[in-house]
Each structure stands twice: as structure tokens, then as C-alpha cells.
A and B are shown apart, each in its own frame.
Chain A
Amino acid sequence: MAIIAETKELTKSFGNTIAVDKLSFSIEEGDIYGFLGENGAGKSTTIRMLLGLIYPTSGTAYIKGQLFNNSKRHLLQHVGAIIERPDMYGYLSGWDNLRMFAAMSFKNIPKSRLEEVLEIVGLTGREKDKVKAYSQGMKQRLGIAIALVHSPDLLILDEPTNGLAPQGIVEMRNLILHLSRDHGKTILLSSHLLHEIEQIASKILIIHRGKKMVEGPAEQLLDPNETLVEVQMEPDDNIARMIKATQWHGSLTGSGPAHLTFKMHPGKIPGLNKWLVENGAKVIDLHSKHSLEAYFLSLTNDSATPHRTV
């Protein structure tokens, strides 16, 4: 697969604060590339560097294999983007906004293409309304239409579900999938919500405090065989000691008098539960999450975390 966009050691500092730290990743044609990180992790800064809105302190970005910088802004013809909020000219109609931004791509875009993208995002019939009368969801859709209208190779959607109602979030997710499957778009989708990314991304990159923490194909990162099991019980030193002589020891990833954590296949959880009860553990809580979720939560809970690549 051809690489559509790439960064190499991309770094941005604001004074003494390093917002993005030597971040390297590549987006291949056809990917829905999930870009995940808590608020303030450096996602938007990275995206802005990729679009030439912010200049990197060091490192490079590439679009379609060509080095992208301020003198090569023509490369943005290959990119469509909405960044954070879909802000447009409220005093103009949706159609006027779309038409104006289409003209800025310097491609000869026929009226039928404008109508087509409005159809894709589900705004047909509302295009003559003033944008200030649009709901947040409609603005997001218009933002995507603007990003799509010049038929870019890469669509960058930065937090596209921000401010949307639950129904709007579902519709947005379906729209992104539709753009990927039926229109062959390569999409960089940024979010601070794992469940939003994991449902549609083909690859996932997690950053934390500007650094890459984990990257890889979604099916591997979301491996169902890699379930994290957390057990809370009344304090009992014997359980942790006893477990060392059992089959469960190989799955044990952490222990203490009142808690145990395991990484295992979910099918083994009932057996573990049975062993704990039979050996006198007074279990208060036992729950499982897939490893990426646990990993992401550990990041957002600000605990120490390893860096891994799948």
C-alpha cells in the first residue's frame, strides 16, 4: 500500500513545553488511522503540523511522499480536513460556504460535485439555509463536505464527534465508515475516546504527552486473547503466595495483598474465579477489559506506562 502521509521525528515545543516529541508514523492508502490520546496529548498539534498550520520545531512531514513545508502548500490539494470545531461563515448559506472553500482548492469543481458531497453527508435540502441555523451535527457534516469536495486522497478528521449528541455520534461513525468503504478514502481520525476509535479504525496510534506510546493494526491491539483481569479482594497475603504454584502464575501481571491483575484469554476467567473462591479469597470485584482499553485508561489515569509497538 502506498503511503499517503508520514511524519518523521516530528517535534513541537512551545517555550519549555514539548507538545509533540519526535513523533513518527505513516498512514497508508485505505487506512482509517485512529489517532488516540487524552485531551492535551498533542493530537491537534500534530495534525496542525501535518497541515502546515503550525511549524515543527524539528522533524518532517510528508504528503504523498513529498516533503511538506510552507513552500509546498500545493500538496494540500491532496488533503481535506476539519480541525476541532467545524467553524464556518454563519451569515452565509451552507451552499455558499461549500462553494467558496471548493474554489480555494484551485481545482475545477463542477456544481454536480458540490451536490454529490452534500448528498454523501446528508445535507441535501438544507444547503440554502444559513449556517448559523445549523445544528452542531449539521455543521460537522458540512465540514466534512468541505473537506471532501475537492476529492482529496487523505481526509483528516480531528475530534469529529465533539459536541454531538449520541445519535449524531453514531451517524458520524457511519459516515466515516461509508467514506472509507464506499468512497475509498484514507482517513486520519483523531479522538480522545477509545471506543470511538476502536469501532472503526484499521490502525491505531496512541500518544501521551506528545510521545508515541503504541501503534499497530487495530485487530492486534484489540486482540481478544489479551484481556486484562483485575481482581479486588479483602487483604490476604496468602493468595498471592499460593498462586505462584499454580497455572495462573504465568498470567499474573501484578499483585498485592488486596489486588491481583492478570492478562489472559477471557475463556479462562471463570476458572480463575473458581480457584480464588475455592482457596479462600474474599473477592470484592472481578472485572475484565481488553488490554488496549486498560492501557489507555492507565495513560489517562496518569500512571507509568511502557512504550510498545505491535
Chain B
Amino acid sequence: MIALLRIELYKIFHRPRTYISFGIVAAIALVIQLAMLADGKNFIGFALQGVSEQFDIKGNVLNGYLITYLILQTLLIHIPLLVALVAGDALAGEASIGTLRLLLTKPITRPGLVLVKFTASVVYAMLLLIWLAIIALGLSVLLFGTGDMINLKSDAFVMLLKDDVLWRYFAAFAFAGIAMMCVAALALLLSVFADNSIGPIIGTMGIIIVLTIFSTLQLPIFDAISPYLFTTHMIGWKGFFDAPVPYDAITHSAIVLLVYTILFVATTIIVFNKKDIQS
């Protein structure tokens, strides 16, 4: 299994398009950082318009922690798309270029191949998140320094002390890892039904976008199903920037995501194990 995983990772990281994802993440983060460098003070003034009338806010408000939060909010949809680019290609891409049949003439079990593909996709997703952490958090802190973080919500704002922020980001990135694992599992599941990778990639994004609408639209009809949708729980990382941290809700969300992940991977294995390879 380790040898197979090494091969999968070798293939992923020797493909030029893999690095496009890393480039996109860096580009988005840099654009936001440059915009904030240029016009951040106005942005903060506008954002804190209502708050500053009642509170006297001093210190480095436009700090690296706040910028990182803004970047993460912006990349909410992009990161799953970038994960789907690789996971959705895992089986369908092999079928499309004809290497799937060559792979399966080797003494590899089909469940083994699915697990290796899934693990490799997860490794890629984790590396993408680490890259995001370096670019978004690391560079923002370098450019803007640190300070107390203001988390502006629709109905409240949370003030987090400077020394109490960094661990929250590490926890949030770890949670995002679980969420991206779920996205990778979904993309892999769709990948098993297709003979080209466009379908699974678009399919994954379509599902995430539609379910996110169900999760966020506060209509009674969606309220009933919202708690059961994995997209509702994908944004659980935001809980780490609340005070106090809603650990129960975060743990619940993480468990839901893990259950969905197991469900998606198990279904992939069952379907792939029964599939005739005709590509």
C-alpha cells in the first residue's frame, strides 16, 4: 500500500496542473493582502462603522489575523474546487487516458486502489491547506503584524486577544482538513461513475454549491434538512473564532463530516469493485 501511495503521489506532484491549484491559492491570498495594504484602513473603517460609535477601538486592528480570516472566508468555495480537481480526476482521469485498465492488469485489489487514490487526494488537500496557512497566515502576519482579532459577525462581533488567536487558526485548519477529506471522498465517488474528470469535478462543485444554498438559506423547508447536510458542517471551523468556542457543535460537525467521508469512500469501493472496466 505504501508503495502504491508513493506512486500516486509521484503522479499527482509530477503533473503540472497540480501546481496551478497552489498558484491560485497564492494569487487570491496575495490579491487580498495587496488590496488591504493599499486600502485596508478604509475597509476597516467601513466594516467597524456601527461598532466604533459605541466602542473605542484602539491598536492594530488591521492585523495579520484579521486578514487571514478574510482570506479564509473568500476561499470557502475555491478550496473545495481545487480539491475536487485532483480527487475527481483520480479514477475518471485514469479511465479517460486509458491507464485504468493498465493499472488493473497489475495484482492490485480494487478496494486497495480506491483507498490509495483517496489517501493521495487527502494528502494533496492537506498540503494545499498547509500552503494556504503559510501564504494566508504566515504572510499576512509578516505584512500586517499581529494584534487582537475582531471577528465581525452579522449580529455581533467577537474580540479575541492577540495571544489567544494562533491556536484557533491551527484548530481551524485541522477542521478544514476534515472538511476537505469529505470533499475529496465525494469527488472520488463521482469519479467512479465517469470516464472523464470534467463530470466529477463539476458534479462535486454543483453538489457543494446547491447544498450550501440549502444550508445557508434560512427558509423553513431547508431548516429541516440543513442539519443533515455535510455542507452545513463544512463551515464548522468558524466556531473556533467564537468566544466561548462551541466545542460540542464543532465536535458534532466533525463527526458528521467523518461519517459522510466513510459513507462516500465505502460506496466508491462497492461500486468500483463491481464495475466492468471498459474504458
- Can you name the residue of chain B whose Cβ is closest to the Cβ of A45? B278
Cβ-defined contact, B110 with A70, below 8 A? yes
Cβ-defined contact, B98 with A76, below 8 A? no
Chain A residue total in the interface (Cβ 8 A): 35
Cβ-defined contact, B107 with A87, below 8 A? no
In the assembled complex, the CB of B197 is this many whole angstroms from the nearest CB of chain A, namely 14
Contact with A along B107-126 (1 / 0, CB 8 A): 11110000000000000000
Cβ-defined contact, A87 with B97, below 8 A? yes
- Can you name the residue of chain A whose Cβ is closest to the Cβ of B113? A104
- Can you name the residue of chain B whose Cβ is closest to the Cβ of A53? B277
- Can you name the residue of chain A whose Cβ is closest to the Cβ of B110? A70
Q: Does B10 contact A (CB under 8 A)?
A: yes
The interface centre, meaning the residue of A76, A84, A100 with most chain B CB atoms within 10 A of its CB, is: A100
Question: Could you say which of A70, A87, A91, A101 contacts B14, with CB atoms under 8 Å apart?
Answer: A91
Question: Could you say which of B4, B99, B110, B274 contacts A88, with CB atoms under 8 Å apart?
Answer: B99
Question: Could you say which of B7, B15, B98, B273 contacts A104, with CB atoms under 8 Å apart?
Answer: B7
Q: Does A75 contact B (CB under 8 A)?
A: yes
Q: Does A255 contact B (CB under 8 A)?
A: no
Chain B residue total in the interface (Cβ 8 A): 27
In the assembled complex, the CB of B64 is this many whole angstroms from the nearest CB of chain A, namely 37
Contact with B along A69-110 (1 / 0, CB 8 A): 010011111011111110111111000100011011110000
User: Which residues of A are found within 8 Å of B277, using beta-carbon distances?
Assistant: 48, 53-54
Complex formed: what's the CA distance from A104 to B103 in Å?
Answer: 8
In the assembled complex, the CB of B229 is this many whole angstroms from the nearest CB of chain A, namely 35
Cβ-defined contact, A53 with B108, below 8 A? no
- List B residues 150-188 near A (Cβ within 8 Å): none
Q: Does A146 contact B (CB under 8 A)?
A: yes
User: Which residues of B are found within 8 Å of A35, using beta-carbon distances?
Assistant: none
- Majority SS of interface residues in chain B? helix
Cβ-defined contact, B109 with A103, below 8 A? no
Complex formed: what's the CA distance from A26 to B121 in Å?
Answer: 42
Cβ-defined contact, A51 with B104, below 8 A? yes
Q: Does A217 contact B (CB under 8 A)?
A: no
In the assembled complex, the CB of B17 is this many whole angstroms from the nearest CB of chain A, namely 9
Q: Does B276 contact A (CB under 8 A)?
A: yes
Q: Does B105 contact A (CB under 8 A)?
A: yes
User: Which residues of B are found within 8 Å of A88, using beta-carbon distances?
Assistant: 99, 102
Cβ-defined contact, B273 with A91, below 8 A? no
Question: Could you say which of B3, B11, B16, B276 contacts A54, with CB atoms under 8 Å apart?
Answer: B276
User: Which residues of B are found within 8 Å of A74, using beta-carbon distances?
Assistant: 107
- List A residues 139-166 near B (Cβ within 8 Å): 143, 146-147
Cβ-defined contact, A87 with B99, below 8 A? yes
Cβ-defined contact, A101 with B273, below 8 A? no
In the assembled complex, the CB of B270 is this many whole angstroms from the nearest CB of chain A, namely 12
Cβ-defined contact, B4 with A104, below 8 A? yes
Contact with B along A7-49 (1 / 0, CB 8 A): 0000000000000000000000000000000000000000010
Complex formed: what's the CA distance from A85 to B106 in Å?
Answer: 16
In the assembled complex, the CB of B6 is this many whole angstroms from the nearest CB of chain A, namely 8
Question: Could you say which of A77, A79, A90, A101 contacts B102, with CB atoms under 8 Å apart?
Answer: A101
User: Which residues of B are found within 8 Å of A216, using beta-carbon distances?
Assistant: none
Cβ-defined contact, B106 with A76, below 8 A? yes
User: Which residues of B are found within 8 Å of A54, using beta-carbon distances?
Assistant: 276-278
Q: Does A55 contact B (CB under 8 A)?
A: yes
In the assembled complex, the CB of B106 is this many whole angstroms from the nearest CB of chain A, namely 4
User: Which residues of B are found within 8 Å of A266, using beta-carbon distances?
Assistant: none
Complex formed: what's the CA distance from A77 to B14 in Å?
Answer: 27
Question: Could you say which of B6, B105, B273 contacts A81, with CB atoms under 8 Å apart?
Answer: B105
In the assembled complex, the CB of A283 is this many whole angstroms from the nearest CB of chain B, namely 50
- List A residues 165-217 near B (Cβ within 8 Å): none
Q: Does B101 contact A (CB under 8 A)?
A: yes
> With A81-B105, A105-B106 given, is the CB distance from A53 to B276 under 8 Å?
yes
Question: Could you say which of A79, A84, A103 contacts B7, with CB atoms under 8 Å apart?
Answer: A103
Contact with A along B245-279 (1 / 0, CB 8 A): 00000000000000000000000000001101110
User: Which residues of B are found within 8 Å of A80, using beta-carbon distances?
Assistant: 105
Question: Could you say which of B7, B107, B273 contacts A77, with CB atoms under 8 Å apart?
Answer: B107
User: Which residues of B are found within 8 Å of A143, using beta-carbon distances?
Assistant: 102
Contact with A along B2-22 (1 / 0, CB 8 A): 011011001100111000000
> With A54-B276, A92-B11, A100-B7 given, is the CB distance from A146 to B16 under 8 Å?
no
Enumerate 13 A-B pairs (CB-CB under 8 Å) in ascending A order: A48-B278, A79-B105, A80-B105, A88-B102, A90-B97, A92-B11, A96-B14, A101-B102, A101-B106, A103-B7, A104-B7, A104-B107, A106-B3
The 10 closest A-B pairs by CB, nearest first: A87-B98, A104-B106, A53-B277, A76-B107, A54-B276, A81-B105, A77-B107, A74-B107, A100-B7, A51-B105
Known: A89-B11, A101-B106. 17 other contacts (CB 8 A): A51-B104, A51-B105, A53-B105, A54-B278, A70-B109, A70-B273, A80-B105, A82-B102, A83-B105, A88-B99, A90-B97, A92-B14, A96-B14, A100-B7, A101-B102, A103-B6, A104-B4
